[in-house]
Structures are given as C-alpha cells and as structure tokens.
Structure 1
Amino acid sequence: MGINDIGKQLTKLPSIHPKFFHKYRSFADDVWQKGVISPTEKEIIAVSVTTITKCSYCTQFHSKKAKKIGVTTEELIEGVTIATSIETGTALIPSISTEIFQALGNDSQEEQLGKIFPDQYKHLHDLLILPFVDSVGILPTKLVILISYAVAHALRSNEYIKKLQIVASKHNVSEIELGEASLIAGALRAGSTVRHLADVLDIFDVERR
C-alpha cells in the first residue's frame, strides 16, 4: 500500500477501537505539539528514528512534515547518518563474545575491537564516534545528541543511553530535552506498530470485495 492508502485505513481506527485510539492519539499529540524541542528538531529526530523502527510510512509521513516546515535534505540525511552510527554500534558490540573481550584485558570495547579487527577498525571507529564528536556536519551538537539519544532508546541500548547521558551533561543538554527525545522514540515505536494495523484492515477489505 502507498502512503495515502495506509492513511485511509488508519482513519478507520477511531470507529473500530475508540478507547485505544483516543489514548494513543492523545499521547502522540502531546509529544509532537508540546515541549521544549522545536518542531523542526522533532521532525529531524523523527525521520532519523523511523529508519530504525523500519516504518517506511512513518519515514514518508515525517519527511513530508519536515519538508513543509523548511528542513533540508542535507539535515535529514545527516540525522539518518547519526542513526546509522548508533545502530551499527548496538549491532556489533554485543556480537563479540564476552570471553574475547575478557581475554583482551581492561581496554574499552572500542579499543578491543581495534585489536580484533585492526584493518577494518579505522573506518568502523570513524563511524561509531559520530554521535560523540563536537562537530559532525551541519547539525548543531545538541541536536546530534538528541537524535542519538532517541535512536538509542528506540534500539533499547542501555550502553549507548548511559554514554550519551554523559555526553549530554558536557554540552548542557537538559534532562527535559533528553526526556522529550525518549518520548519521541516511544511515540515512533508505537506509531510503527499502529501502522501495521492498516495491513490488517486492508486484508479484511480485500476479503469483503
């Protein structure tokens, strides 16, 4: 289904399950309409996180919203690049066995990876440190941290969440801003799940034809 077809199916939810939809919609509206993070920043965060939640409808929806309020392609691409960095790290580090890390001593996991993969590590390192450097590209450092924090929550990576809390404190990112970033991640995870109800509704519509 295309984005318009999905949207049409989702408009049926209020009449099918009004109590659930009201609670979900109220939560989502609070996330997108209230808070200290600007609408522009929220949409950049949203597009970045939707690439992690694997919701193409959500990516298209928030990309269109972002475009309408003046977000550039370059800003969105950079946000997704940050998301890629976080996802790479969360996928790779747990895949290295604890026994190997222990055998290499007390070095950080990043340093240990350099010993395990000396040839590949240079480029891997450059990718993994993107969320932790002061200047990545055109996005301000605070927004890079908020994108990273939202993505880490979407991936449920406690290791990255803890690291980013330390980075955030060094760059005067408030707890309220971090909290809002985590709520954005929560809203998008919920939205990506709700989106699949459109597929369910479409199947039943096909059977009725």
Structure 2
Amino acid sequence: MSSDLYAKEYIKNLSQLKSLVPEQMKTYRDFSAAVFSEGALSKREKELIAVAITHVTECPYCIDFHTKAAKKAGATLEELAEAVFVTVAVEAGGAITHSTHVHHTKQKDASDVLYSRSNLQHVGQLETLTPEGFSGYQAFSAAAVKVGNLSAKFKEIIAVAVANATQCPYCIDVHTKKAEQLGATNEELAEAIMVTSVVRAGGAYVHMANMIQSYREEE
C-alpha cells in the first residue's frame, strides 16, 4: 500500500473508466471539449480561469493539468500568478462579506432572510473593529484586481468565475457588476462560468483515480 495519496501515476487508473462507465466518460469528455473550445474567450483565457478555479477546488491533479495546458496555450507564469491572486482576493472577500452574518445574528429583530444585499452595509463593522486588518485587506484586494499582465476587465471575469466556484452570493453580485462596468459581455461571463463548472466537475472526476487505487489495494 502506497503512503502517497497523490501520486501522478494514479492518473493511469482513469483509463479504466472508459470500460466501467463508457457513456458517462464520453459525455464528460464532450462537455469538457465544448467548454474549452475557442469562443468569446480564447483557449488561453479559459485555461487561465481554469487554473484560478483549481486553486479554489485545491485539486493537485487539476492544478498540474491546467497549468500545463495554460502554458501550452501561451500563458506566462506572471499571468498565472496574477490569475491565482484573484482567487486569493475573492476567497478573502468572501470571508469579509460573510462577516455581515455575525452582525445580523446579534440583532434581536434580524430578518429571517439570511442573504440580503442590504447585509453588505454592515461590512463597515470590520473596519471599525479591526481598522489595520481591514485596511490591509482593502489594499491587497485592490492590488489583486488592478491592471497588470492581465487586464482589469479579465481579472473581474476571473473573479466572477471564482465567485461562482466559492458560491458566495455577495461576491457574485459585486464582481459581476464590476466586470460589466469594465466591458465584460454576457457571453464572456457565461463562458467563464462554464469553465468553473467543468473544472469543479473535473476535480470529482480525477479523484476517481484515488478511488480506483484504494479499491485495488484492498484486493
């Protein structure tokens, strides 16, 4: 029995799926191929988004695969680092915006609606209670989405994709509006969200390599 839960050679186990679940394998591959085809977003842009999403799902197989695919599509290491820092910023923002629920809970007459846009007015509580920490977050968040090797518009498209991956309604709302303000089209946002969908699915798919390995070890 291997002591390494994440060994690259385990990926070979996925070849068995073609015979175990042929219909599911074909439709999954067709789904992935359709999502990563050129459209409103280029193959390079889609792979950059994919790498950002793999850092939400924290799947090492997916990080490896999509980083190599992004490099092959022409993405630079600087671009990849900027894309992942968008993920870092959105993850941080999700914690910040969800802090509003703490304030909500402490209100005796709080509404039964847990997710209301008006909740965001309470984000300022963090700035009051932890001014230095909140100031640090604001500076970091601004740096993560400003123009660099990637445009501000594309970073907000990534942010929308990440927000859908983290399933933070506040983040989806905020970053969708920012993306549209910067000129992102409905088609670009839709394609970015589809990349999120296939990469999240891919995390579950590729971990079947570990399932098969574990099953074999018990034979």
Corresponding residue number in structure 1 for 2:171: 160
Check 1:50–1:107 CA distance in 2 against 1; reply closer, same or farther (3 A cut): closer
Question: Does the CA contact (< 8 Å) of 2:99 and 2:123 recur in 1?
Answer: no
Check 1:145–1:48 CA distance in 2 against 1; reply closer, same or farther (3 A cut): same
Check 1:99–1:162 CA distance in 2 against 1; reply closer, same or farther (3 A cut): closer
Q: Secondary structure at the match of 2:39?
A: coil
Corresponding residue number in structure 1 for 2:149: 138
Using the TM superposition, give the Cα deviation of residue 149 of structure 1 relative to its aligned residue in structure 2, in angstroms: 0.8
Check 1:38–1:102 CA distance in 2 against 1; reply closer, same or farther (3 A cut): farther
Are residue 98 (structure 1) and residue 103 (structure 2) matched?
Answer: yes
Q: For 1:29, give the aligned amino acid.
A: A
Corresponding residue number in structure 1 for 2:197: 186
Corresponding residue number in structure 1 for 2:29: 25
Whole-Å separation in 2 of the counterparts to 1:63 and 1:111: 37
Q: For 2:132, give the aligned amino acid.
A: D
Q: Which runs of 5+ in 2 are unaligned?
A: 1-5, 109-117
66-75 or 153-162, larger mean C-alpha shift: 66-75
Q: For 2:15, give the aligned amino acid.
A: T
Check 1:58–1:44 CA distance in 2 against 1; reply closer, same or farther (3 A cut): same
Question: Does the CA contact (< 8 Å) of 2:97 and 2:170 recur in 1?
Answer: no
Aligned structure 1 segments of 4 or more residues deviating by more than 4 angstroms: 100-103
Check 1:106–1:75 CA distance in 2 against 1; reply closer, same or farther (3 A cut): closer
Question: Does the CA contact (< 8 Å) of 1:43 and 1:66 recur in 2?
Answer: yes
Whole-Å separation in 2 of the counterparts to 1:52 and 1:60: 14
TM-score, with length taken from structure 1: 0.88
Number of residue pairs matched? 204
Whole-Å separation in 1 of the counterparts to 2:208 and 2:48: 25
Identity, % of aligned pairs? Answer: 32
Q: Which runs of 5+ in 1 are unaligned?
A: none
Using the TM superposition, give the Cα deviation of residue 106 of structure 1 relative to its aligned residue in structure 2, in angstroms: 8.7
Using the TM superposition, give the Cα deviation of residue 35 of structure 1 relative to its aligned residue in structure 2, in angstroms: 2.2
Using the TM superposition, give the Cα deviation of residue 27 of structure 1 relative to its aligned residue in structure 2, in angstroms: 1.0
Check 1:129–1:63 CA distance in 2 against 1; reply closer, same or farther (3 A cut): same
Work out which of the residue numbers 2, 10, 27 in structure 1 matches 2:7. 2
Question: Does the CA contact (< 8 Å) of 2:87 and 2:162 recur in 1?
Answer: yes
Q: Secondary structure at the match of 1:172?
A: coil
